Structure 1
Amino acid sequence: MAILALDQGTSATKALIVGDDGQVIASASAPLEISHSQVGASTAKAEDMWQSIITAAKAAIDSDGFKKSKQKISAVGLANQGESILAWDKKTGTALSEVIIWQDSRSSEYCTKRQDKSDLVLSKSGLAIDPYFVAPKILWLKEFLPNLSSQAVITTTDTWLISRLTGAYVTDRATASRTLLFDLHTKDWSQELANIWQLDIANLPTLINNNQIIGEINHPDLLFLKNIPLAAAIVDQPAALLAEECFTQGSAKCTFGTGAFLLVNIGDKPKISKNGLATSLAWQINLKSTVSSAYYLDGQVFTAATAIAWLVDNQFITNANQIDSLPDADSVITAPGFAGYGAPLWKPNAKAAIAGLGLHHTKSHIARSVVNGIAAQVADLLTAITQDGVSVSTLKVDGGLTQSNTLMQMVADLAQIDVELYPHPDATAIGVANLATLAINPTLTLADLKPASKGAKNFSPKWSTDQANNYLKQWRKLQLVTSDLT
């Protein structure tokens, strides 16, 4: 019995095949091109996203590792980007728009007009009114495409992909909790919240639990998966939270991908942040005769790998591997708000800024200051979590940028916390594979899940508390000065 886990991410779709023993048998990846514009647009072509699913899945299935294992695929799980949307024809599955990526800020005006509803929205949805989330994007796209037919719908990307895979019109509750349309307390769509965005919840997909058999895959592009059940669906970040065994209150992880996303488990009841963090449902899963739920506080660094890509594109460094050979920043400080700021500031139109430059500084000093700025944002989020009364003793980390010892050490230094590297680069895919395993083996519990691999690398603070606080004080001054630049 093997599970095919599909992680449809911002810049690529990853496919992992996880075997009986919890180990990764095979993996593959297919890129997805994202376009950014000066007006805040971040988009991808919908058919490119679909093709990335096909390409990655087929490559994993055709790999020598899977063939040599002599195992068969028993189920498929799907993880999604969470806050990315598109318009599509519900009858034919045809995409009617580009994918509006979570980084897209063009709906910020719609958010500004609704700030008087902030307290209500926060108390019910756990989220700030911000273009990062789904509802304002839906409203913006509806007005951008006024002539959509009666059978057109606008949903998060998971619903479109699941419909193409199985014919079902559904979304999972964890993804729904990122929409501004979902009541955390009832775990259902809220017409009161939808009214704020002039939407009707009758048009929204049916809500499902995260380890639920949705239907059998039956699409001509995926004949090699024909009749295999799609048995799990979840938004990417809580999938990684589950993979990293953050099952108890105060256990936290940060995924360093296109952005950096820090989540901390707060237990089975929602806790609304008083310090600018978002609250969402991590998972609702069927376990034997019960249903188990967990919530989390989270904060976002909108540009992590994309900030490093900016350094490469503008020839500050030649590639990401060069990060660990950079010198000390030598008093240069960067607030890398290239795509604005999420929690705790919620400044979608903010810009990046660099300060402290002298004639003796070089591109390398600036590059290192950008790396430090990413770490500073993560430290800031941990401060907000502490202010909300949640104690975090260790931060588990995953994602491509965790290969940088410099970045991980800087996180430990500025946050004054131990950092534990997850031993596999694809925690999201492993998390959704675990959910699919639970779906087809209903007698299992979370404790029965087998770890993907063993061994981890740890980073402990080398800076003093005073040294970290002094740096963050200067960094926050720069961030605040530039957060309202447009």
Structure 2
Amino acid sequence: MNPLTLIIDQGTHATRALAFDADGQALAATHCPVSLQRLSADRVEQDAAEIAASLHQTLTGILADDRVRQAGIAQAGLATQRSSVVAWDRETGEPLTPVINWQDRRAAAWLAQFAGNEPVIKEKTGLPLSPHYGASKLRWLLDHVPAVQQARRDGRLAFGPLASFLLARLLRGQPFLVDHANANRTQLWHIDYRDWDPWLLDLFGVPGDLLPVCRPIVYEYGLMSLADAPVTAVNGDQNAVVYALGQPEKGTAVINLGTGAFVLISTGRQRVSHPALLTGLTSSTAFVGEYTLEGTVNGAGSALSWAGKRWGIPDIPAYLDEWLARPEEPPVFLNSIGGLGSPFWRPGPEPVIVGEGDLGQRVTAVAESILFLLQINLDEMRAAGATVSRLRVSGGLAQSGQLCQRLADLSGCPVYRPQITEATARGTAWLAAGRPSHWPELQPGKQFDPRPNTALTDRYWRFRELMAL
């Protein structure tokens, strides 16, 4: 048996470790849930020590697997939630703050003072000005957390993307590094020069010497502490999904339906700009980068969780297909959970159901609102010149066949759902293993072809009207 590729996928609700063979098949996996603290509508945190412990637990678990021990590990990769930041003690490695989650918007009022600089910020970073990104969160930590201020005075402060904190835990010698994809989501990093931008650092008041050293996504980061294998790729979780089936197909937009929903289409080595969509890197080496155009929906799984708590439903996904299959006309849900992402970048109206309906119809309205927001982003991508002829879906909500069918009906594109479920980990493995030409699907997925659905289209336009979009 050939040595395996070990991947750690640290997401919003769980940390996973998976071992892939040379064909991209997961031979072993471990999983550890992590908690999320939603302190208020705009404050979302996670326990940094808990996430670090979950990293250790999943790693030790998978390294103890008999198949992994027999085959060995050739290389490893790390994928993490993007736009989440944390501060820690550079000498001890202990966290000084919670992880400020990617959904957090606590510094929105402070960030508004830079609205006049947004065109320059967008040009430099590929990102619109938003409190979801790291710059305002890092500045908030400097301004409001005494332990951070003391560590800075003592010369012991390290802070930055969650990926850099986890790399220090994962690698020998605790290096202070971060990959291009996660550095990008701080809004302090220049997407063309691929390093911290002095003008942005000065604008937001974030000292560059406190931030990690930037490295390409595909790079030898160092040897793992728990295994004699190098980490050869580090990426943002959504960026990595693009490579789940290997080299991206032209015209295929990739949609990952998790806590948030993210739609990305590869633009190759060409950076394509759009005033309200994101430009990012999905892969980079010391010499070249591969770009995407991306749209973001903040309220996907999180919107269904909101509905579950509000209406007392412990497990909405278990009933989703049954409710979506009902013929009754659902109401419309104004989905501003987590604030409106692209292409609007504003808080949005209060989340509310418009119209009458029973429990199943109200949940259907919430699910459809996710599709409506995705469709708006697909329309914007086409307006930017991108060809979108096929959609590929992954993530927990993609397991709903009824949701996939409605996405096909609304978009007018065939929707393909692969059998693989761990798209982030498999995409990271493909990069870490050196982009192998042979990366097959052992079992074909399911395709949902578009069907006429006038009622759904009418609700989409009604949604846009009610949201004033």
Same fold? TM cut 0.5: yes
Matched, 1:394 2:365: no
Q: Residues 300-356 of structure 1, C-alpha deviation per residue, up to 9 Å, x if partnerless?
A: 111212222233334464521210001246140112222111101111465312102
In the other structure, the counterpart of 2:81 is 81
Q: Give the secondary-structure state (helix, strand or coil) at the position aligned to 2:124.
A: helix
Alignment partners' CA distance in 2, 1:453 and 1:35: 39
List gaps (5 residues or longer) in structure 2: none
Contact 2:24 2:429 in 1 (8 A): no
Letter in 2 for 1:164: R
Compared CA separation, residues 50 and 329, structure 1 to 2 (3 A): farther
Matched, 1:174 2:181: yes
Alignment partners' CA distance in 2, 1:301 and 1:328: 27
In the other structure, the counterpart of 1:380 is 376
Contact 1:421 1:457 in 2 (8 A): yes
Matched, 1:463 2:460: no
Scaled by the length of structure 1, what TM-score is found? 0.89
Matched, 1:207 2:207: no
Letter in 2 for 1:462: R
Contact 1:131 1:137 in 2 (8 A): yes
More deviation, 141-150/309-318: 309-318
Compared CA separation, residues 12 and 195, structure 1 to 2 (3 A): same
Contact 2:330 2:364 in 1 (8 A): no
Letter in 2 for 1:72: G
Matched, 1:156 2:161: yes
Alignment partners' CA distance in 2, 1:379 and 1:354: 20
List gaps (5 residues or longer) in structure 1: 219-224, 439-445, 482-486
Alignment partners' CA distance in 1, 2:121 and 2:431: 30
Contact 1:244 1:253 in 2 (8 A): no
More deviation, 230-239/199-208: 199-208
Task: Work out the number of aligned pairs and report it.
Answer: 457
Compared CA separation, residues 468 and 181, structure 1 to 2 (3 A): same
Compared CA separation, residues 178 and 250, structure 1 to 2 (3 A): farther
Letter in 2 for 1:299: G
More deviation, 15-24/316-325: 316-325
Q: Give the secondary-structure state (helix, strand or coil) at the position aligned to 2:118.
A: helix
Letter in 2 for 1:199: V
Compared CA separation, residues 389 and 469, structure 1 to 2 (3 A): farther
Instruction: Select 2:462's aligned residue among 469, 474, 478.
Output: 474
More deviation, 121-130/205-214: 205-214
How far off is 1:412 after superposition? Answer: 1.2
In the other structure, the counterpart of 1:302 is 298
In the other structure, the counterpart of 1:232 is 233
How far off is 1:79 after superposition? Answer: 0.4
Contact 1:316 1:364 in 2 (8 A): no
Compared CA separation, residues 459 and 171, structure 1 to 2 (3 A): same
More deviation, 162-171/100-109: 162-171
In the other structure, the counterpart of 1:222 is none
In the other structure, the counterpart of 1:441 is none
Compared CA separation, residues 21 and 179, structure 1 to 2 (3 A): same
How far off is 1:428 after superposition? Answer: 0.5
Instruction: Select 1:325's aligned residue among 322, 326, 336.
Output: 322
Contact 1:3 1:73 in 2 (8 A): yes
Alignment partners' CA distance in 2, 1:151 and 1:339: 33
Compared CA separation, residues 251 and 5, structure 1 to 2 (3 A): same
> 5 Å matches for 1:129-148?
129-146=129-146, 147-148=149-150
Compared CA separation, residues 335 and 463, structure 1 to 2 (3 A): farther
Identity of aligned residues (%): 28
RMSD: 1.9
Alignment partners' CA distance in 1, 2:327 and 2:359: 12
In the other structure, the counterpart of 1:433 is 429
Alignment partners' CA distance in 1, 2:66 and 2:442: 20
Contact 1:246 1:252 in 2 (8 A): no
Matched, 1:423 2:425: no
Letter in 2 for 1:140: W
